[in-house]
Amino acid sequence: MTVRHSGIGMTSQRTRARMVERLREKGIKDEIVLAALNTIPRHIFVDEALASRAYEDISLPIGYGQTISNPYIVARMIEVLRGGGDIGKVLEIGTGCGYQAAVLARIAREVYSVERIAPLLGKARKSLRELRLANVRLKHGDGFLGLLEAGPFDGIIIAAAATHVPTELLHQLAPGGRMVLPIGSSEQRLRVIERTAQGFRESDLEQVKFVPLLQGVA
C-alpha cells in the first residue's frame, strides 16, 4: 500500500482507528461496519488540502455543490441497511466522491452506484480504482430511475434527501430488502423501508441533513 493510502500524521491508520473508536462511543454497534470503516482511507476521497481533516466527524466539500457525509452518518446508514445481516447486492444513489461505495464494498457482495454529476463520478472512479475494489460498478445516470438492469437489490442506500420515495427504487428492492434514505426538505429524517410479503414497512429514525436529491444528469 502506498503512502497515499496508508497516510502519515493526521491521515495515518492510527488516526483512522481513533475515528472508529469515536464512532463506537457515539453508538455505532455493528462491528462489521466499524471494521469496514477502519480499512478505507477516507483522506484519498477528499482534496489534498482537506486531507488532514478527513478523520474528523464532519462533512467536507467535494466540489459541484456536494459533500462527503460525516463518518457517523455513513456508519449509521450502513448499520441500518445491514440490520445485523449479510447483504448480497446493494444499490447506492449518489456516488459522490466514492467513499461510501468503498465502505459498502467491504460489506456487500456487489455494489452498484449511480451518480448524476459526470466529473464527480470520474473522480470517484479514480479513487476506487486505486483501492482495487473489484466488486463496485459505477454508472452515470439519474438516481430517481435506479438501475433496473442490475436489480433487484437486497439493499438500496440514498445519499441525498428526497422529498418523496422514488417509486422506481421501491420496485427495484428485493423481497426482504431494505432501503435507507434521508427524507424531507427543510427538516429531514433518516427513513428505513423494508419490503415484506405484505408490502412496504416504513419507520423514521433520527434527524439528518443532506443535499437534495435531484433528477436528471449533469
Q: Answer yes or no: is 216 within a domain.
A: no
Q: Helix, strand, coil % (nearest 5) of the chain?
A: 40, 30, 30
Sign of the torsion angle spanned by Cα atoms 44, 45, 46, 51? negative
Q: Answer yes or no: is 213 within a domain.
A: no
Please report which confidence band the pLDDT of residue 194 belongs to, taking 50, 70 and 90 as the band edges. Answer: very high
95: CATH:
3.40.50.150
Distance CA 188, CA 98 (A): 23
pTM for the whole structure: 0.91
Over 70: is that where the pLDDT of 158 sits? yes
Q: Answer yes or no: is 140 within a domain.
A: yes
61 — phi, psi (to 5°)? Answer: -70, 140
- Tell me the β-bridge partners of 102: none
- Residues serving a catalytic function are 69
pLDDT for the residue numbered 213: 87
Please tell me the total count of domains within the chain.
1
Over 60: is that where the pLDDT of 9 sits? no
Cα dist. 32→26, 84, 121 in Å? 16, 9, 27
Helix (H) or strand (E) holding 201: strand 199-208
Q: Answer yes or no: is 29 within a domain.
A: yes
Please report which confidence band the pLDDT of residue 12 belongs to, taking 50, 70 and 90 as the band edges. Answer: confident
- Residue 11 grid coordinates: 491521515
- At 52-96, the pLDDT tens digits run 899 998 999 999 888 899 999 999 999 999 998 999 999 999 999
Among 153, 150, 178, 165, residue whose Cα is nearest residue 213: 165
My answer on whether omega of the bond before 166 falls inside 30° of 0, hence cis, is no
- Residue 212 grid coordinates: 437534495
- Residue 79 grid coordinates: 448499520
Distance CA 55, CA 14 (A): 10
Angle between helical axes of 71-82 and 13-25 (0-180°, round to 10): 60
Q: Answer yes or no: is 121 within a domain.
A: yes
Q: Answer yes or no: is 218 within a domain.
A: no
Question: What residue numbers bound the domain in which 196 lies?
Answer: 3-208
In the chain, the percentage of residues whose pLDDT exceeds 90 is 80
Q: Answer yes or no: is 217 within a domain.
A: no
Q: Answer yes or no: is 214 within a domain.
A: no
Per the model's pLDDT, the better-predicted residue between 9 and 21 turns out to be 21
